[in-house]
Amino acid sequence: MKKPVLWGAAFALLLAGVAPLAGKTVPEPKLGDVSPMMRLITSEQYVNTLQSIFGAGLEYRVQFAPIQRVDGLLAVGATSTVMTSGAFDQFDSAARSIAAQVVDARRRDFLLPCKPAKQNAADDTCAGAFLGGTGRLLFRRSLTSDELGAYVHIAHDSAEAAHDFYTGLSNALTSLLVAPEFLYATQPITKAGNELKLTSYAKATRASLLLWNAYPDEDLLAAAESGALNTSADLARQVDRMLNSPKLEQGVRNFFDDMLVFEDFDTLSKDGTFYPAFTTKVRVDAKEQTLRTIIDHVVSQNRDYRDLFTTRKTFLTLDLGSIYGVPVRTDTAWTPYEFPPDSPRAGILTHASFLALHSHPARSSATRRGKALRELFLCQKVPPPPPNVNFGALEDPKSPFHTTRERVNFHLQNPVCAGCHRIMDPIGLALENFDGAGQYRTTEQGAAIDASGTLDGASFKDVAGLSKALHDHPQLPRCLVRRMTSYALGRTLNKDDDGWLQYADGQFSTSGYRVKDLLRTIATSPSFYAASVKADQ
């Protein structure tokens, strides 16, 4: 009789992430596929990495060929994308522009470690010092003597041809910047006893890409080189250093940018006749507002992830003020702001970014918003619409539709549509108090807006109720765990990962849903650095 009770308790503990057997540590479950991945550097990683080497003073005009989004993430597409000739051209021209700036007469003295003996001739010693140091940061390991020799040779030859040391150096730096060792983060493997694992350098790169969205810095490389990433205590120390670094912000920012499909902002446009307030500046600021709110909430304040959907705290600019109907002081670009308790705005669902991005250019879209909420925050997949729909009801000129609710209710009259629209539209309708630009309204074409609805069994009357229902949805934190794990690994998850994911769910819950702790769970997990060899290798 006691057995089920015990098992129940053990199960509850397991869910909470606590080892069920007192005194014994249950080994952390393993992730499924841990074969190495070759990841193409993204525009953001490129800029982050080069900025930390050459400083923010250079002009990094970098926009590489778009990467295909795979299973909700660009980070997953980056491990399968193929370099086309057009894509390589963009890397080549970025490399040449940056190399020219580094050796520019105004910058060379503080960006280069030495001066050549003669400016109009090659100087292999000085070239070697610069290329060896920079190459190590770009390739995330020391260059072999063969490699260094080859890049010094490039510098030598072109310096002689151009009678200019700096032209030579610029060519050699360009070459480093287009080399596959830089453009691709590969994951070399080493054998420890009978076990395969990533080399320390590969470990450093993995951790750094996850936490900083950049290649490792000198400290991390030095740790990799000295073997200081081999024990779990040493690794944990480095991970903590990275979690406490200001660079964590750019890492977390990139993760949410990817998860929220914010690259769509690049092409978002609104019809100026309907939404004159939604200017280019508002478009840029709306995205930044949400990213700032997220960073402040999960990084600076280290608060519960779920509260992002109910928090009234945010940041505004003068331009955003016109969308929110809020006076914003003009003396600073970004001002912290807290919506008052009687405001309909609370949580990132009510930000102009979410509302405008998932709308049409000249009106809102309950369907798009509902679909986005399910796919982005709950990791649910909404099937594509059927190709052949009977629009008979819409064709009836006697039934004019005033509100979006009236229009989308049409979906529910058709059984082919209803299946999917029933899970999207009621959520989106709760956001109908905000128009296609994210501005608050109480009526649509003269008819009062009804913002009530349900989310997987939880009923609500208005958007605050929807936000609360999402906040309390058990799938919300689980979705973040899955998205972040997939982002970290650069691959689609599968059922072999379930054990590890449930373990991570437990850890996340125990931490009170702190994103930094979730990052630590992944970045210190032995599974994250495990390696296997595929049959074809």
Partner 1 sequence: MTKSKFTRRRVLRGMFNGCATTVALPLLDCFLDNKGTAFASGEPLPARFGTWFWGLGMDQQIFVPKKVGADYDLPEQIASLRDVRKHVNVYTGFDVLTDGRPNLCHYTGWVAVRTGEAPLGNGRYPGASLDVLVSDVVGTNSRYRSLQVAATGNPRSSQSFRSSEAVNPADVSAVELYQRIFGPEFQDPNSPVFKPDPRIMTRKSALSTVMEQSADLRKTLGKADQSRLDEYFTSVRALEDRLSLQLQKPPPAEACVLPSKIEKDLPLGLAAEMVANRHNLLTDILVMALACNQTRVFSMMYSDAQALTTKPGNPRPHHPATHEDLRDPVLGYQLDSAWLITRAMESWAYFVGALAKVKEGDGTLLDHSLVLAHSDCQLAQVHSLQAVPLMTAGSAGGRLKTGLHVTGQGTPATRVSLTALQAMGVKVDAWGANSMRTSRAVGEVTI
Q: Which is nearer to partner 1, 153 or 514 (CB)?
A: 153
Q: For residue 3, state whether it binds partner 1 (rule: CB under 8 A).
A: no
Q: Which is nearer to partner 1, 165 or 513 (CB)?
A: 165
Size of the site for partner 1 (CB under 8 A): 71
Q: What is the DSSP letter of 528?
A: G
CB 167 within 8 A of CB 175: no
**For residues 374 and 82, what is the distance between their CA atoms, to the nearest angstrom?**
30
Q: Which stretch binds partner 1 (CB under 8 A): 9-17, 75-83, 120-128, 291-299?
A: 75-83
Q: Which stretch binds partner 1 (CB under 8 A): 47-55, 105-113, 246-254, 390-398?
A: 390-398
Which of 12, 389, 418, 448 binds partner 1 (CB under 8 A)? It is 389
**For residues 77 and 400, what is the distance between their CA atoms, to the nearest angstrom?**
44
| Cβ atoms within 10 Å of 133's Cβ, excluding its own | 16
Per-residue tokens: 521: 């769970």
Site string for partner 1, 27-56 (x = CB under 8 A): --------xxxx------------------
- Alpha carbons within 13 angstroms on the beta-carbon side of residue 240 total 6
What would the DSSP string read from start to end of 162-208? Answer: HT-HHHHHHHHHHHHHHSHHHHEE---EEEETTEEEE-HHHHHHHHH
Q: Is 178 left (phi over 0), alpha (psi -120 to 50) or beta?
A: alpha
Q: What is the DSSP letter of 514?
A: B
**For residues 386 and 419, what is the distance between their CA atoms, to the nearest angstrom?**
11
* Residue closest to 375 by CA, chosen among 476, 233, 518, 490: 476
CB of 87: closest distance to partner 1 in angstroms?
Answer: 6
Binders of partner 1 among residues 211 to 270 (CB under 8 A) are 266-267, 269
Binders of partner 1 among residues 440 to 459 (CB under 8 A) are none
**For residues 82 and 102, what is the distance between their CA atoms, to the nearest angstrom?**
29
The contacts of residue 266 (CB under 8 Å, 6+ apart) are: none
Q: Which stretch binds partner 1 (CB under 8 A): 153-161, 213-221, 372-380, 462-470?
A: 153-161
CB of 324: closest distance to partner 1 in angstroms?
Answer: 22
| Cβ atoms within 10 Å of 32's Cβ, excluding its own | 18
Q: Which stretch binds partner 1 (CB under 8 A): 16-24, 74-82, 108-116, 289-297?
A: 74-82
Per-residue tokens: 425: 């539209």
Site string for partner 1, 80-99 (x = CB under 8 A): xxxxxxxxxxx-x-------
Q: Which is nearer to partner 1, 165 or 315 (CB)?
A: 165
Q: For residue 509, state whether it binds partner 1 (rule: CB under 8 A).
A: no
Q: Which is nearer to partner 1, 381 or 461 (CB)?
A: 381
Site string for partner 1, 162-201 (x = CB under 8 A): x--------xx-xx--xxxx-xx-x-xx------------
Binders of partner 1 among residues 259 to 278 (CB under 8 A) are 266-267, 269, 271-274
Q: Which is nearer to partner 1, 330 or 390 (CB)?
A: 390
Binders of partner 1 among residues 315 to 374 (CB under 8 A) are 360-363
Which of 59, 109, 342, 536 binds partner 1 (CB under 8 A)? It is 536
CB of 473: closest distance to partner 1 in angstroms?
Answer: 27
Which of 8, 16, 68, 338 binds partner 1 (CB under 8 A)? It is 68
**For residues 237 and 239, what is the distance between their CA atoms, to the nearest angstrom?**
5
Distance of CA 173 to the CA centre of its chain: 29
* Residue closest to 183 by CA, chosen among 279, 111, 83: 83
Per-residue tokens: 379: 């990791």
CB of 354: closest distance to partner 1 in angstroms?
Answer: 19
Q: Which is nearer to partner 1, 117 or 161 (CB)?
A: 161
CB of 261: closest distance to partner 1 in angstroms?
Answer: 12
CB of 117: closest distance to partner 1 in angstroms?
Answer: 21
Q: Which is nearer to partner 1, 308 or 323 (CB)?
A: 323
Per-residue tokens: 44: 């953001």
Which of 8, 55, 66, 327 binds partner 1 (CB under 8 A)? It is 66
CB of 141: closest distance to partner 1 in angstroms?
Answer: 12
What would the DSSP string read from start to end of 78-138? Answer: TTT----HHHHHHHHHHHHHHHHHHTSTTTHHHHSS---S-TTS--HHHHHHHHHHHHHHH
Site string for partner 1, 405-434 (x = CB under 8 A): --x---------------------------
Q: Which is nearer to partner 1, 65 or 326 (CB)?
A: 65
CB of 112: closest distance to partner 1 in angstroms?
Answer: 19
| Cβ atoms within 10 Å of 63's Cβ, excluding its own | 9
CB of 70: closest distance to partner 1 in angstroms?
Answer: 8
Which of 6, 15, 161, 333 binds partner 1 (CB under 8 A)? It is 161
CB of 137: closest distance to partner 1 in angstroms?
Answer: 17
Binders of partner 1 among residues 278 to 307 (CB under 8 A) are 280
Q: Which is nearer to partner 1, 329 or 360 (CB)?
A: 360
**For residues 219 and 51, what is the distance between their CA atoms, to the nearest angstrom?**
16
What would the DSSP string read from start to end of 394-449? Answer: HH-TT----SHHHHHHHHHHSHHHHHHHHHHHHHHHTTTTB-TTS-B-SEETTEEP
**For residues 278 and 258, what is the distance between their CA atoms, to the nearest angstrom?**
23
